[in-house]
Amino acid sequence: MDLNGFEKEIGVNFNNKGLLKQAFIHRSYINENKGEGLEHNERLEFLGDAVLELVVTNFLFNKYPKKPEGELTSLRSALVNTTTLSKTASSLGANDLLHLSKGEGRDTGRARQFILANTYEAIVGAIYLDQGYDSAKGFIENTIFHLIDEIVDKELWKDAKSRLQELAQEKFSLTPNYKVSKEEGPDHNRIFTVGVYFGGKLVAEGRGESKQEAQQEAANKALEVKGW
């Protein structure tokens, strides 16, 4: 897929094609191609993250008028987390358009998920700058709003660590323990690997851009491992 094909896929015709191209340029690509005069997508990602939060918050506020603030926050987190956004970006064909370093290009695991999730936010930022708020809002509506029903029906919004702790105490009378096993990447883009243990035995591992996010993923995987 080329940029024109991506525009057709998302239903947005950019005035400034350079903004759309920039949304797919990872910092690592710039480091290996400094002479091309390109900019990476982190500023667009920063802007898109703010637009995304506003649009999703407004959507949830109006859709669930009786839900308390804490539950709305959890729903929002589930709708815009790394897993959701990376899957959405991939389904739109974003993975084929990424500009990455050779090293990043070989990694198709969790690190790629972070890149794709950040790219989704950068796309939102690019649309906002090029087309305005309503167009960015429309893109978000069309790509992720439909996921909220499954999140609510399957209670995917509930805190994984809390659920794991409740079930571990109920079934085994123990409290899960979390330990950081690895830290990777530069300070501005740190990736943490965290293991969750039952009585000293490793049950599952998770990765995240923060220790908290890595713990949540580890808890989610532990729930899957235990069939809970």
Q: Which residues are catalytic?
A: 49, 121
The residue to which tokens 């990455």 are assigned:
100
Q: What is the CA radius of gyration of the chain?
A: 19
Distance between CA atoms of 84 and 50, rounded to whole angstroms?
17
Which SS3 state, helix, strand or coil, does residue 208 take? Answer: strand
The three-class DSSP label of residue 14 is coil
Q: Spell out a b/e string for 104-121, using b for 16 or more CB atoms within 10 Å of the CB, else e.
A: beeeeebbbbbbbbbbbb
For 105, phi then psi, to 5°, come to -65, -25
DSSP 41: S
| DSSP-assigned states of every residue in 7-56 | HHHHT---S-HHHHHHHTB-HHHHHH-GGG----SHHHHHHHHHHHHHHH
Of 77, 89, 75, which Cα lies nearest the Cα of 121?
Answer: 89
Closest C-alpha to 128, from 47, 22, 25, 57? 47
Provide the residue type at 107 as one letter: D
